Every structure is written in C-alpha cells, then in structure tokens.
Amino acid sequence: MKYPQHNPLPLPASGTHESVTATMDTVFDWEYDLERETLLSLYEKGKAATWNATDLDWSIDVDLEKMLQARFQAGSNELFNAMLKPPRTLSPDEGMKMNLNMIAWMLSQFLHGEQGALLATAKIVQQVPEEEAKFYAANQVADEARHVEVYHRYLTEKLGCSYEVNPHLQTLLDQIISDSRWDVTYLGMQIMVEGLALAAFGMVKLQLPDEPLIQDITTRIMADEARHVAFGVLSLEGLFEQMTESERREREDFIIEATHLMRDRLLMEQVYERMGFDVAQWTEWAVDTPFMTGFRQMLFSKIVPNLRRLGMLTPRVREAYEKLGILQFENLKDSTEDPEPMPPAELVALLTQLRGA
C-alpha cells in the first residue's frame, strides 16, 4: 500500500538498520498432536478477527495541532499548569506543542514496539515446541506487520510528527531478540512489552476522543493485542514452576530489568529535548510529579496480574515492584479473564478535565 510520507521518521544512533545477533534452535514438531484447546481456540479467534489496513478510512482529515490548539486556548492549559505543576508555567501554545509531541512520541514508540513484536513472534514460530503455539504465533506475525503498516502510515501521512526509537525500548527489544530461550522471548514481548502497550493504547483513546481515525486504529489493534497477551499467558502457564531455582532466578532478573527499562522509557526525555527544555529538570519533574508517576504505574496494570498467574510474582519481583509502586495491581484480573485494562477512575477524570470534555 502506497501513501505519502510527509515526515519520515527520525533515525536512532544505530542508523537506518540495526543487526542483532541471535542464536537459537529451530524446532520441528513432527507429532502435530494439537491437544491444547485454549491455544487452538485463540488461533481461531485470531483468524476470524483479521482486518486489513485498507478497511480504515484514510480519507479522514487529521489535524491534531488544530484540535489541541482549541482545547488549550479554551482552558486546558490552565488546568495543565495547575494540576501537573510543570517546572515552569507553559503558555497555551507551549502546552499544545508539548501535548502534540507527547502523543507523537507515544505513537512512535508503539510503531517501534510493533516492529519488535513482528521479529519476536517470528522467533516464536521457529522456537516454540508446540504446534498450536506455532499456528497462533504465525497468525500474530501477520497482525504485527499490519500494526507496523498502519502506525507508520498514520505518523508519516497524517500526523507529520514522529520520533526515533527510545534508547531504553531499543535495549529491551535487542535483549528479547538476541536471547536464545523461547520462554524469555514470550516473557519479554508477550507479557512485558505488549502488556504495557495494551494499557497505553487505552490512554491514547482517552486523550483523543474526537479523532476518529486513531480511535478506529487503536480499537482494532487493542483487540489484537489483547489476544496476543493472552497467548503469552496461556503458553507460559505452568512452565516456570518446572524450572530449577537458578533458572527461575534468571527469569526474575530479566523481569526486573525489563520493568526498569520500560519505566525509564516512559520519562519521555526525547520530548523535552525537542521542545528545547532543560532535559534534566523536566525528567526530574516526570519522575516526581504525582500525575506522571500515576500514569507510568497504570501502564503496568496488566503485567502484574499476568506475572502473578504465571507464578513469577516472586518475593524478589514483589520487592522490586513494591519500590516502583506497581504491586497494587496484583489482584486485578489477568489477561485470560479480562483482556483489556481499565484505566483508574481518577486518571480518567483528570484526562477528561485536561481535554476540556
């Protein structure tokens, strides 16, 4: 599908391409026993729910700058300054530009994460020993290619503002792709990266209720990603309890490091740099201000209960999560029980105020 790229994405320091060395076994399943009904059912749902990028209405005119300008001139900027208490008071124009860049940054990281999911799921097809999982993973590869396609088109044709991959996200994707263990690929991509993205998609829908194209894109992708995260939970269920203590400790180390990388990427230093702000000062604000802290914590609302179901909310992981303030989500429903996360009511109310609804 051809489309005008009004704003090609900026490149990371690694350049146009990055080569990650991955050593892994490719596993054939000559038994084809197909006994895991839950995975086969998910595979059938995935096939039935397949959609095409051409199903979207790309004729919709998207002008987020105009939409945000009206919102911030109508009083949202005063609320932004009063409630979020940035390092200095922002003018309506600065507030609009900052919000526009935050949205562009978030959508850009969605795009980069989707490419990571495309590569990671292709690995799963090769590595996972069960045929049912190979079937579903193959279907997910097609999903991820479609997600990359639509986010790239939206950013370059419609939004005209985009960001290179965040260094913390890039590091995590590199680790997931290069690791030879298939369960770590699942754990890193299906549980951690896609679990966080699923919650973040809901935030975008709340922020842009009057933009029909991104609403349609996000709704479709959220439905796909909810199945993808459930696929990870179902595939890994019961696996970690069979591992040795040292193997489980390695997975704990990975979970804790991945969580810190995802938390750090949400500080949005790239936005402050592009805005010409003091990056250190604004990063400190992002770390300390209650709204930004709550925003980051909410994005882990699916990861924590999913890890609990997998038996990986161990004392070490619990201690790390307690320090990050995200252990509060442990008793929520996991992705097999409740596919899509619900943002906390307080956060919904605040975002509703800020967008002037």
Q: What is the mean pLDDT of residues 35-50?
A: 92
Q: What residue segments make up the domains of the chain, in order of their start?
A: 37-45+61-354
The pLDDT of residue 280? 96
The pLDDT of residue 74? 72
Calculate the average pLDDT of the chain.
90
Q: Provide the sign of the torsion angle of the four alpha carbons 161, 167, 168, 174, taken in this order.
A: positive
Return d(Cα 213, Cα 206) in angstroms, integer: 14
pLDDT in tens, 118-155: 999 999 999 999 999 999 999 999 999 999 999 999 99
| Domain 37-45+61-354 CATH superfamily | Ribonucleotide Reductase, subunit A (1.10.620.20)
Q: What is the mean pLDDT of residues 166-185?
A: 94
297 or 261: whose pLDDT is higher?
261
Look at residue 90 and tell me whether its pLDDT is greater than 60: yes
Half-sphere exposure of 292 (CA within 13 A, CB side): 20
pLDDT in tens, 322-337: 999 899 999 988 888 8
Q: What is the mean pLDDT of residues 67-74?
A: 82
Return d(Cα 57, Cα 54) in angstroms, integer: 7
pLDDT in tens, 226-236: 999 999 999 99
Q: Provide the sign of the torsion angle of the four alpha carbons 209, 272, 195, 189, taken in this order.
A: positive
Pick the closest to residue 277 from 289, 286, 288, 266 (CA basis): 286
The pLDDT of residue 292? 78
Q: What is the mean pLDDT of residues 192-220?
A: 91
Are the C-beta atoms of 245 and 315 separated by less than 8 Å? no
- In percent, how much of the chain has pLDDT > 70? 94
What is the pTM assigned to this prediction? Answer: 0.92
Q: Provide the sign of the torsion angle of the four alpha carbons 325, 279, 101, 221, taken in this order.
A: negative
The pLDDT of residue 357? 46
Res. 83 pLDDT band, cuts 50 70 90: confident
The pLDDT of residue 176? 95
Please tell me the least confidently modeled range out of 94-98, 105-109, 117-121, 146-150: 94-98
Return d(Cα 222, Cα 195) in angstroms, integer: 11
| Chain Cα centroid distance, residue 130 | 26
The pLDDT of residue 116? 96
